[in-house]
Amino acid sequence: MQNRQYLPNTDQISIIAATILLAYAMAGFISFPEQQLRLEFWSIYVVFSLNAQSIIMIVASILAATGSDWLIRSHPLWNNKNTLEHWALPLLTALVLGFLIGRFEGGTYGWISYILGAAFLMVVLISEYITVNPADVRYPIAVTNLLAITYFLYLIFCVLIRFLDYRLLYTLPSIFFATLLVSLRSFKLRQPQKWSFSEALFISLMTTQLAAALHYWPISPLSFGLCLFGVAYALFLLIYQPNSNPRAKIGYLEPLVLLISSWLLAYWLK
C-alpha cells in the first residue's frame, strides 16, 4: 500500500490553477479608489495602500493555500495529518505570480507570466501531492523539484521587492517572512519527521540583517536578490548537510561555492 504511486486528480489541479489565474485576470476589470490604512505603533506611523491589485493578490494567495489543502486531503494516505507544510510553496507561487502579472499586465511579459505561473503552480501542486508518501519512488524527484522551485521563486521575490523600491519598514518584514517560509519548507522536505523552527529562524534573521545592510546600497535588483538568495540557500545547505551525514566533510564545500558564485555574479551585475 505504501509503495503505490498516486497522482492527484487532474480536475482538482485544473480547478485550483484556473481559479487563481481567473482571479488575477479580474484585476484588469476591477478598479476602485486606493484606500489608505494608517496604523500607529509607539509614535511610528505605518501606512498601507490597498487597491484592487493588492487585494486580489491576497485572495489568490489564500486560494492557493486552501487549494493545496483540498488537494492533499484527497490523497489516499493523508490519514488526517496536518497539511500546513503544504501551504507555503503554493502561497509563495501565487504571490510572486501576482507581483509579475501586476507589473507586466497587458503586455507580452504579462502573458509569459500567466503561462509560466500556471506551469509552476501545477508542478508545485503535483509535487506537493507526491511528497505525502515518502515511500513513493518519485519522492526524491518531487523533493528536488520543490526545492528548485522554492529558491527560484525566492530569488524572484527578493528581486521584485527591490525593484518595487519599498521602504525599509516594509522590505524587512517581507524578506523575513518569505525566508522563514522557504527555510521551513526546505528543512521539512529534507527531514519530514520534524520541524526545524530554530534553524529556519536563524537563516531568516541572518538574511534580513543582510537585506537591511544592502537596502541603501546602489546595486541592481538582481544583485540584491542574488546576495540574499546565496546566503539563504548556502545557510540551508550548511545546516542540513552535516546533520544528514556528519562524516561527509565535502558537504561544506557546496554551500561555500554557491555563496561565492552568487556574490561574484551579484558583483558583476551591480
At 1 the pLDDT is 45
Residue with cell 503554493: 90
Q: Is the dihedral of CA 103, 105, 110, 115 positive or negative?
A: positive
pLDDT band at 95 (very low <50, low <70, confident <90, very high): confident
Check if the beta carbon of residue 67 is closer than 8 Å to that of residue 16. Answer: yes
Compute and round to an integer the Cα radius of gyration of the chain.
19
Tell whether the model's pLDDT for residue 2 goes beyond 60: no
Residue 82: strand, helix, or coil: coil
CA 225 to chain centre: 13
Identify which has the larger pLDDT, 46 or 180: 180
Question: C-alpha cell of 187?
Answer: 528543512
pLDDT band at 236 (very low <50, low <70, confident <90, very high): very high
Residue pLDDT, tens place only, 72-86: 888 888 877 778 888
pLDDT band at 38 (very low <50, low <70, confident <90, very high): low
Tell whether the model's pLDDT for residue 201 goes beyond 90: yes
Tell me the average pLDDT across 47-67. Answer: 80
At 106 the pLDDT is 61
Map out the domains of the chain as residue ranges. Answer: 1-137, 143-270
Task: Give, to the nearest 10 degrees, the angle between helix 88-104 and helix 108-130.
Answer: 180
Predicted TM-score (pTM) of this structure: 0.84
Tell whether the model's pLDDT for residue 46 goes beyond 50: yes
Percent of the chain's residues with pLDDT above 90: 20
